[in-house]
Amino acid sequence: MSSQSFSRPGAIDLSALNGGGQPQAAPGAAGGGFVIDVSEATFQSEVLTRSMSVPVVIDFWATWCEPCKTLSPILERMATQYDGRFVLAKIDVDANQAIAQAAQVQSIPTVVAVLRGQLVPMFQGAIPEAQVKQVLDQLLEMAVANGVAGRSDPIPGATQQAEGAPEAEVEEEPIDPRFEAAYDAINAGDFDKAAAAYQQVLAEAPADAEAKAGLAQVELLRRTSGSDPGAAVAAADADPADLDAQLLAADIEVVSGRVDQAFNRLIGTVRRVFGDDRERVRARVVELFDIVGGADPRVVKARSALASALF
C-alpha cells in the first residue's frame, strides 16, 4: 500500500470534523470492548485517528428509531465476535447533527465505515444478521487490500454490548480447519501463504467450490495490494485501450464494493478486444463471478451480459 491516504471515487472526506474540544470518555460506558459512543468532541480521536490502523464502523441511530433497535444489537454482537478486527462507533444523529450532515446521512439506521479518514458507504436500514456479516467480511477484505488490517485491543471505557440491548449468547461460527491456515495468513497480510494454503486444499479436492472461491479472493487481494485505488481507476478511465489498466481497475472496484461498475468495465472491454486479449478478460470476469457469488443478482445480470458480448 502506498503512503497516500485511501482514495475512492465518491468517498466523503471527513477530515474537517476534527472535534470541538478535548476528547472525552464515552458517557455511561463501563468495562472493556469494541463498542464506543462517539460525539463531535471525540470524533477526531475515536474515529479518524483510529481508522488509520483499524476499520471503524459507524452506526448512525436515534432513540426514536425503531429499526435501530433491531440493527444495533446485531452490530454490537458482531463487534464482539470479530474481536477487534473493527471498532463499532455509535453516533446519535440528534445529538451530533454536524457529523450526520458531513456523512450525508439521509435516513436511519445508516451504517458506514471509515478507512484512513475517509467514509465508505455500507448500507441503510435494518438488514438480516447474515447479510450484515457478509457486508462486514467484504469491508475487512477491502481494508486488508488498502493496508488497514490492524486489530484493536479492548478499548478502555468501551462496552461489548450497549446498555439496554438484550443479552444474547454469542455463537462463533465454526472455522473449517482446512482453511484455518489460509484465514490466519490473510489476517496477517501474507497473501502468498494464503494462496498456498488454498492450493493445498485444492490439490486434495480439486472441485471444492469454497477453496476455489477463497483462492480467487486471495489472488484478487494480491493483485490489488500496493495499488493506489483512485489513481488506478483514473488511469483506466483515461485510457480504455490499456488492458492491464482495465483489469486492475475492475479488481479495485470489486474490492471497494462497486461490483456493477467492475462488471460493466470488463464486459465493455470484452466487446472491444479479440483473440487472446478477449479470453484474458473473459477469464477475469468469470473469476470475479466466483468471488462475488453465483447467486448474487449482480452476477446473474452480468453473466447474461457477458454471454451477449461474447456471442
Among all residues, which ones are annotated catalytic?
A: 65, 68
Virtual CA dihedral for 89, 296, 246, 135, nearest 10 degrees? 10
C-alpha–C-alpha distance, residues 230 and 8, integer Å: 5
Q: Is 265 left (phi over 0), alpha (psi -120 to 50) or beta?
A: alpha
In b/e form, how buried is each residue of 239-271, taking b as 16+ CB within 10 angstroms?
eeeebebbbbbbbbbbbbbbbebbbebbbebbe
Contacts for 80 with CB less than 8 Å, ≥ 6 apart: 33, 34, 160, 161, 170
Task: Find where cell 494480491 sits.
Answer: 222
Task: Indicate the helix (H) or strand (E) that contains 81.
Answer: helix 66-81
Mind giving me the DSSP string for 95-111?
A: T-HHHHHHTT--SSSEE
Instruction: Round the CA-based radius of gyration of the chain to a whole number and report it.
Output: 20
Helix (H, G, I), strand (E, B) or coil at 274: coil
